Structure 1
């Protein structure tokens, strides 16, 4: 052992597998201190290991649908929104506001409506805006949009604060000051490079898979009937009958059945307006869950038999009364109420829960002449909207009726409206003149004989129909039969017919269809990179505001067409400096 150790120390070369120097890099210095191994000099692409949000920041488009009471948000191309944020009084709370845990809240007293009285203030904190801009704080609307959007981005989207392009789905009747407040809030606080605007009726039409439709929007503030023909809004009619009036009618019904010790005395209301007995949240919840609508009174007619005698159904003649239907008037329902002076439970008949919808949307106890143009019942509003349309537009829209809005969830409401509109069409036809004089003129046999006395297959008067022998002529000794000669096929027309849908179009009859919603329709439009109604650039808006928008007639539509692709909006703005607000700029 001593010899081996002495030989190694004398300079004997060690074995290769025992040499530590062979496994070191040739560029490594002779420093024996331990250090971190150096990484490879090969460049690593940053896009491979970058953040997913940074990769899709230039491609993702945020779809925002702003309504009176809620905000829906999601990415373009998704089937449904990622999240929904409701505008409630809890969003107006500040730091240190503990009124929800106070003694008044524990005793089921609604502090939100205890001191503030009046019709406007009962549901004001549950809304984003109202269309009467004379008493509206536009800065508060911008703050509400900012807070709701930040909450949606934090809770549902899970993305960073990088600026992204946005698409806003807004009602076409939104006033211009409201639109300016919303755009100012979005551009100044979220800094998107561009915001595209889409109309809610057009997005609903795309969501239904059709090009023309009649949109019946049973909204919160009002009911809007919009006619869309080839993705363009043709006409719009409105009525003040909406969800807000339905909740108020429900409150009147519940307050009428309250016990006497729960009702407020007359001397309690010293002001000009009357305070509410129950809270808005409770009345809204009962309206959503329990209010229903009666079916249409006129049942479908049974087909007449050719035998002359109707079929007699067999019945039990033992004297036992027949069993009544499920909608028995003797049925009652018990409703617990927590927002009154003390918790109580009221009991009212099941038929009474149909009164709010009957008084809100129909008012059948009044005549047609007792309504103003802004408060028409919904069946009459839909019928007049169809009556005002041209013949070809009406034939398409009446076969594509779309019901939307929060009030469509009321059980039986859509069927009732559709049935009464069909009855009006059957009784009156498409003649806008109504009254006793018009009925007498239609019933006059003398006037009936004058109309259309000449048969339809006869030719024009004074023109003799050509004989069969004169249908051809002889030229250069060759007989040419021009009437029976086959036309030469045009190759251009054949190519155009290949791309057309040869299926027959459904038109001229009453029909209701379903839509996936305005948000999903806007998501489809943005995903397919179709041209929006209007595109507003951030630099142009911050510099000029709504004043810098041009009229729709002053913009060249060919140069204004833009793409949602990467950089498409910027190229479109560089090509043409003119921009418009679309239907919102004409208000």
Structure 2
């Protein structure tokens, strides 16, 4: 464990002396101690050292304390249809308002159109809600561990740090790359992390707990496109059809409970044209059972054909070999092959032994088996050997694996390599850019020394 921490932080950790077990111990059991950490009056030394772990995405914010197995709060963004009037006439009415409204995204892929004022106000509102309703701690006394994607725009990370330091006056922020945290949560040093998010799918090889940013491959086929296809299928082939004015929560509920991924595709060459007849393409020799689904917002029951359940998920795997070379339309098999081709032979053999699937779409039944066959096929295609993918395995990890890994690192009292204090922030020290690793180390060394 000491070598694992030193590879992340670049520092040596001292191992605690082992104590001989006693026959009669007055200490309570481990579970009882864990449950009583936050129920006893007063602050113990362990509680004072706990850190707040944040995983801020474009649609959800996961928050909790270090050492916990799951986040205490998973707050969904609602940035559409909201209104708020500021008291005293200090500000005019803007898109940020009460924490009610339709599901939306906090930022898009093109951050040039992102309103900085709206972004800051929205982040402040949701973080204040998390601190006051769920964490119930004074933000000035707790350090923060922030896990984020290597491709998160610097503009967004600067806004996160600015809000936390300015409005919440936290002591420091430790930045941890989400692929590295996912590997820590899985208990491995090398991994092939596939993050199927809302706006994009990001594939990151991790070697010795270091994300190999030159080998990162992204594609725009992600949760939002799956959401749009499911909505189209439910409105055209459901019985009765989903009404046009249905809310996004209905489609999201079916995505979470009704979809299934087959081990292999049932058609030889899938197409993705907008005018295709999905019924004639996918409803041939289907063995997926029909389901009766109740829309959560209206309570209306719908009979959903079985072929819809697996046809929607095929959007991740559609596309011929020579088609869709653009990053926004590259299929998942093409992205996996492209990332593995970038890796050298020795690194490729190590990272593919631990395939880690994270993100909101990683819990679709059957998708892990499909991903394993894709990685095996890509390895055989690259190496020319049919036995190249025998050691490929897909680890069973939760979709919040990045938060769990950051929580585990925080419980070990690890002094992060990319830690910025409030004083350093006001002195001009910026946030880390994972794509410019050497420059970050130089900036931090200059600031520390």
Q: Which band: TM-score by shorter chain?
A: 0.7 to 0.9
Structure 2 distance, partners of 1:244, 1:138, is 23
Which residue matches 1:168?
146
Deviation at 1:221, TM superposition (A): 0.8
Residue 75 of structure 1 corresponds to 65
Further displaced range: 411-420 or 179-188: 411-420
Q: CA deviation at 1:230?
A: 0.9
Cα gap change, 1:554 to 1:289, in 2 (>3 Å):
closer
Conserved 8 A contact 1:73-1:82: yes
Distance 1:533 1:193 in 2: 16
Contact 2:238 2:303 survives alignment (8 Å): no
1:528 to 408, 412, 421: 412
Q: 2:258 aligns with which of 278, 283, 290?
A: 290
Find the counterpart in structure 2 of residue 350 from structure 1.
306
Over residues 521-557 of structure 1, what are the superposed CA-to-partner deviations in whole Å (9 max), with x where a residue is unaligned? 1122222233424111212222426399997535768
Aligned-residue RMSD, C-alpha: 3.7
Kindly report which structure 2 residues correspond to 1:157-556, keeping only aligned pairs within 5 A, or say none. 157-234=135-212, 235-257=215-237, 277-296=245-264, 328=287, 331-336=289-294, 345-358=301-314, 360-363=315-318, 366-374=319-327, 375-426=329-380, 428-430=381-383, 509-515=391-397, 517-544=401-428, 546=430, 552-553=437-438
Gap change, CA 1:362 and 1:536, over 3 Å in 2:
same
User: 1:323-374 deviations in whole A, cap 9, x for unaligned?
Assistant: xxx9646x5434455879xx8654342112211111x2011xx421111241
Looking at structure 1, the residues matched to 432 and 151 of structure 2 have their Cα atoms a distance apart, in angstroms, of 20
User: Runs of 5+ in structure 2 lacking a partner?
Assistant: 1-39, 87-94, 96-100, 267-284
Range 245-254 or range 523-532, more displaced: 523-532
User: 1:140 aligned to 97, 104, 118, which one?
Assistant: 118
Check the 8 A contact 2:175/2:432 in 1, yes or no.
no
2:78 and 2:102 in contact (8 A); partners too: no
Q: Which residue of structure 2 aligns with residue 447 of structure 1? A: none
CA separation of 1:508/1:334 partners in 2, compared to 1, >3 Å: closer, same or farther?
closer
Q: Is the 8 A contact 1:296 1:420 kept in 2?
A: no
SS at match of 2:49: coil
Instruction: Work out whether residues 150 and 177 of structure 2, in 8 Å CA contact, stay in contact via their aligned partners in 1.
Output: yes
Matched position secondary structure for 2:217? strand
Match of 2:92?
none
Cα pair distance change 1:548/1:86, threshold 3 Å? closer
Equivalent residue in structure 2 for 1:59, among 40, 49, 69? 49
1:295-340 deviations in whole A, cap 9, x for unaligned?
2259xxxxxxxxxxxxxxxxxxxxxxxxxxx9646x5434455879
Contact 2:235–2:242, Cα closer than 8 Å, also in 1? no
* Matched-pair contact (CA < 8 Å) for 1:395–1:507: no
Are the structure 2 counterparts of residues 392 and 243 from structure 1 closer, same or farther at C-alpha, using a change threshold of 3 Å? Answer: same
Tell me, which stretches of 5 or more residues in structure 1 are unaligned?
1-49, 97-111, 113-122, 264-275, 299-325, 433-505, 561-575, 581-587
Partner of 1:128: 106
Q: Name the SS for the 1:407 alignment partner.
A: coil
Partner of 1:486: none
In the comparison of the two structures, how many residue pairs are matched? 371
Note if contact 1:396-1:507 (Cα within 8 Å) is conserved in structure 2: no
**When the two structures are superposed, what TM-score results if normalisation uses the length of structure 2?**
0.73
SS of 2:322's equivalent? helix
What is the DSSP-based 3-state SS (H/G/I as helix, E as strand, rest coil) of the residue aligned with 1:191? coil
Using the alignment, how far apart are the partners of 2:300 and 2:432 within structure 1?
58
Change (3 A) 1:545 1:93: farther
How far residue 82 of structure 1 moved from its aligned partner, in angstroms, is: 2.1
Counterpart CA distance in 2 for 1:353 and 1:368 is 25
Contact (CA 8 Å) 2:50, 2:410: kept in 1 or not?
A: no
The separation in 2 between residues aligned to 1:355 and 1:513, in whole angstroms, is 25
- Find the aligned partners of 1:262 and 1:552 in 2 and give their Cα distance: 49
